Amino acid sequence: MAEKKIIAVAGATGAQGGGLVRAILNDKSSGFTARALTRNVNSDKAKALAKLGAEVVAADVSDLESVKRAFTGAYGAFCVTFFWEHLSPEKEFIEATNLAKAAKHAGVQHVIWSTLEDTRKWVPLSDNRMPTLMGKYKVPHCDVKGEADHVFTDLGLPVTFLLTTFYWDNFIYFGMGPKKGPDGKLAITLPMGDKKLAGIAAEDIGKCTHTLFKKGREFIGKRVGISGEQLTLAQMAAAFTKALGQEVRYHEVSADAYRSFGFPGADELGNMFQFFRDFNDVFCGARSPDFTRSLNPALQTFDAWLAQNKSRIPLE
């Protein structure tokens, strides 16, 4: 049997990278094997990946030399950066640049860069519908990823730009799940008006990415957007109501109100949801669920994700 090609995976103990490692290792016929990058090879999550059959290696994306070592000998590299670890777009840009430079140094044959839209193409800094943040961004974690796209192309890398989207898992881990209001009723509070939120089960991102690596040439140089389903918040509240067996409402707020909530990143997320709402055709149009299902036939709908995960959603 031919030797398997190595896919080096950044963020392997996290949502996107972890899903990719599991997708590769679960497909014995894929021709790929997974090299999992982590800052701590002794963590429980890293050990679990090793147990599944991944090669686990130490790398910190803020340390270029460590990423060069981790990418050496790899056929493919999955590149993702970690805004929410430090809330710094400048640090995130350095992470992206290190990943791109390391891929170039290693001569990787297929890079997948997990990017997002630079929202300033649609909402220039002069547009006062939303505040400018950190001096030069509208939605820092989106803008800086989009800004970093050119680093990959400038280096002449064989890159696929993967546009991910809102993980439904945010209802479990990111404090966005239904909460009781003053009336004692559960509600999800978002500034999306009656527009659709393109969402996805985080685990499905890795399955799609695995297919992109398998298809290789077909997607090099392309921008690929993915989502599991696109639903209004009223539709999502109805799905929550059915799954949880108790009423969940959509509490619609303005983007200004959301930005004023005061939790870390509230202004940034207020701007992000406002972009999703005000440029809904751009946001949803780039992420066709039908196309996504062609990459991953097992793609979960929101109902299916809820059925699997409802007991993990913290309800007050």
Ligand X SMILES: NC(=O)c1ccc[n+]([C@@H]2O[C@H](COP(=O)([O-])OP(=O)(O)OC[C@H]3O[C@@H](n4cnc5c(N)ncnc54)[C@H](OP(=O)(O)O)[C@@H]3O)[C@@H](O)[C@H]2O)c1
The residues of the shown chain that bind ligand X, judged by CB under 6 A, are 11, 13-17, 38-40, 43, 46, 59-62, 80-85, 141, 164-167, 170
CB nearer ligand X, residue 185 or residue 282? 282
CB nearer ligand X, residue 84 or residue 181? 84
In the complex, residue closest to ligand X by CB: 14
CB nearer ligand X, residue 68 or residue 185? 68
CB nearer ligand X, residue 62 or residue 72? 62
Going from the C-alpha of 137 to that of each of 94, 127, 206, 302, the distances in angstroms are 16, 11, 28, 31
Residue 210, H or E segment: helix 202-215
CB nearer ligand X, residue 31 or residue 88? 88
CB nearer ligand X, residue 30 or residue 206? 206
Instruction: Give min distance, CB of 151 to ligand X, in A.
Output: 15
Q: How many C-beta atoms surround the C-beta of residue 32 within 10 A? A: 20
Instruction: Give min distance, CB of 115 to ligand X, in A.
Output: 9
Cα separation, 215 vs 219, in Å, equals 7
Instruction: Give min distance, CB of 185 to ligand X, in A.
Output: 25
Instruction: Give min distance, CB of 130 to ligand X, in A.
Output: 18
Instruction: Give min distance, CB of 111 to ligand X, in A.
Output: 16
* Cβ-contact 143, 118 below 8 angstroms: yes
* Cβ-contact 107, 77 below 8 angstroms: no
Instruction: Give min distance, CB of 214 to ligand X, in A.
Output: 20
Query: For 78-110, b where at least 16 C-beta lie within 10 A, e where not — what string?
Result: bbbbebeeeeebebbbbbbbbbbbbbbbbebbb
- Of 41, 101, 46, 32, residue with least CA distance to 71: 101
